Amino acid sequence: MALSGIQIYKLLPASSKNPEVKKHANCKECGFPTCLAFAMKLAQKQAELAQCPYVEEESKAQLEASAAPPIRLITLSADGRKLEVGNETVMFRHEKTFFHPPGLFVRVKDTQPDAAEVAKAVAGYAVEYVGMDLTLDGIAVEADGGDFAATVAAVKAASSLPLILLTEDPAAAEAGLKAAAGVRVLLWAATPDNWQAMAGLAKQYNAALAVRPAETDLNALAGLAEQVKNAGVEDIVLDPACRDFRTSLQTFTQLRRLALKHGERRVGYPILAFAGNDPLLAGQHIAKYGGFIILDSFSPATVYPLLVLRANIFTDPQKPIQVQPGVYEINNPKPSDPLMVTTNFSITYFSVANELESSGLPGWLLVADAEGMSVLTAWAAGKFDAERIAKAVNNNGLAEKLAHKRLIIPGHVAVLMGELEEELPGWEINVGPREAVDLPNYLKMQWG
């Protein structure tokens, strides 16, 4: 159970009875003015215990147990690809942020002739979205009466992605684990009937293990997870054995709340979700607490919106998506081609850049550091003003790079025109359109 700030304070040097430790009370080496302030930050998970070098060993053990994440971090890996799921601390992203996006896996069966080809297609799928490469995370291989070990080996060779092995048969599981040597896999599933054998395999082959009760029953799920943990398996994933919208939403939410709000360690693990071929159900699992999500088939038209949804949910709401400030060359511009300026908010940048690229018109795009804000927001906050724009022009040496001194500013900040002329003597300031979609026509008409 997590400790309160006062309980933590009683374990810090300020409350120690040891004179050698007591002398370090309120030393400020942790970055906080007092031990009490540090304790409050620890309780809020806004500081780390390692920041205090003087905590006694006995106190440290208690504090580390209290500070353990409410949901365990589970890591799968293969050939340099790593997927981390868990370590979440809030129910809703606006409270703080979500940290580890759920893994999206595609299921193949050992009776499927094209299993390796599907795995290769999944591994090769990537799409760019506001400067990020969106990809799938792995393959779930199901034992369905075919050659499970051979299929696992073929999928491993074709994809080099993390794997989930789907079988309740310990013999098939061991064959699959041997074939997946070198890959840290998730093994599904330990049930009330086979959990001892599956726990032994997970421990022997250093695999994460999913536990599934006979039916959707949180007490049975928690009990099974505890049995597996007592058998020596630390990396556990929960399969609540529910597959429909309503039951999944209710059960996943209850599990998250029990772990975060009530400190129930027995269910403090990521959740495995099966979405079938339903992208809406997969979307629900992304938004509502799925940790590993298995799709029954691979379709770019289906996975793209899911990847975009995941990217949008698992971004820090307090830190806008940004691009690196600087000068970007669009369509191989010459020194005589136009120069435009915008902010480093990703959506703003890509709106402008995509319009230029699709039009085929060359140009120089100056991206000013506006702390990730859009044009109007940054201007209103004083982060996109004449001084900053002029500084960006000068720091990037544009007077030397270009054969002209003309700068196009967004139409929404036309008010900056006069100030920019003062900040950039000798430059001609042009006011461009308000919307990026109108930029190509503007350049065709206004740029000679």
Tens digits of residue pLDDT in 15-33: 888 888 888 888 988 889 9
Please provide the average confidence, as pLDDT, over all residues in the chain: 91
Compute the distance between CA of residue 9 and CA of residue 151 in angstroms, rounded to an integer: 55
Residue with tokens 């064959």: 175
pLDDT at 262 over 90: no
For 51-60, 283-292, 326-335, 419-428, which range has the lowest pLDDT when averaged over its residues? Answer: 51-60
Homologous superfamily of 5-67 in CATH?
Electron transport complex subunit B, putative Fe-S cluster (1.10.15.40)
What secondary structure does DSSP assign to 106-138, as a single string? EEEETT-TTHHHHHHHHHH-EEEETTEEEE--E
* CATH 3.20.20.20 segments of the chain: 74-313
Compute the distance between CA of residue 332 and CA of residue 128 in angstroms, rounded to an integer: 20
What pLDDT is stored for residue 42 in this prediction? 81
Torsion sign, CA atoms 118, 123, 124, 127 = positive
What pLDDT is stored for residue 182 in this prediction? 92
Tens digits of residue pLDDT in 61-70: 777 766 667 8
**What is the average per-residue pLDDT within 118-144?**
92
- pTM comes to 0.76
CATH of 74-313, one of 3.20.20.70, 3.20.20.20, 3.60.10.10, 3.40.640.10: 3.20.20.20
* CATH 1.10.15.40 segments of the chain: 5-67
* CATH 3.40.50.11600 segments of the chain: 326-446
Length of the chain: 448
CATH of 326-446, one of 3.40.50.300, 3.30.70.1150, 3.30.9.90, 3.40.50.11600: 3.40.50.11600
φ/ψ (deg, to 5) at 88: -80, 150
- According to DSSP, the residues that pair with 365 across neighbouring strands are 328, 340
